[in-house]
Amino acid sequence: MPEVFSAHTARMRQATSNIEQFIEAADGIVDHFRTVIAPSRPWPGQNDEFARQLRPGEIDEWETAINTCNSLAQAVAAIARGVMANLADFQGTQEGAIDAINEQSNRHNGPGRR
């Protein structure tokens, strides 16, 4: 017996809603990081030897953290777009199947038939 595949479009819509919340949260993390880290960007004594040694590494770490958060947000957004595309495909397939069933039913149960 062939396997039956069904798509629960309501669940998919809920999932995309949750994913969109993750996107907002990921964007919020990046914004929060920038807000929290901003006051520490200017260092007193930026020209001393200690600052010159550590500053480049610190800047690289900030940029890496921001890039990682941005990449994560982009990945989650891509997943959301993929789920939404699948949802549209599933809905279209379901609607097409229902239309075909109704059309066949009308042919077999046309005027004068019971």
Q: Residues with Cβ < 8 Å from 55, sequence gap 6 or more?
A: 43, 46
Q: Is residue 110 domain-resident?
A: no
pLDDT classification of 14: cutoffs 50, 70, 90 = confident
Q: Collapsing DSSP states into helix, strand and coil, what is residue 110?
A: coil
Residue 85 resides in a domain:
yes
Residue 102 lies inside a defined structural domain of this protein: no
- Beta-carbon contacts of 61 under 8 Å, excluding residues fewer than 6 positions away, are none
- pLDDT of 17-48, one tens digit each? 887 787 788 778 778 887 887 777 676 667 78
Q: Is this structure's pTM higher than 0.85?
A: no
Q: Which residues span the domain enclosing 71?
A: 10-92
Q: What whole-number distance in Å separates Cα of residue 68 and Cα of residue 56?
A: 18
SS3 content of the chain, % helix, strand, coil (to 5): 80, 0, 20
pLDDT digits (tens, 9 = 90+) for 3-13: 766 667 788 77
Residue 15: predicted pLDDT: 77
Q: DSSP label at 67?
A: H
Residue 112's pLDDT is 53
- Does residue 3 lie in a domain region? no
Number of domains the chain contains: 1
Q: How many CB atoms lie within 10 A of CB 95?
A: 10
Mean pLDDT of 101-108: 85
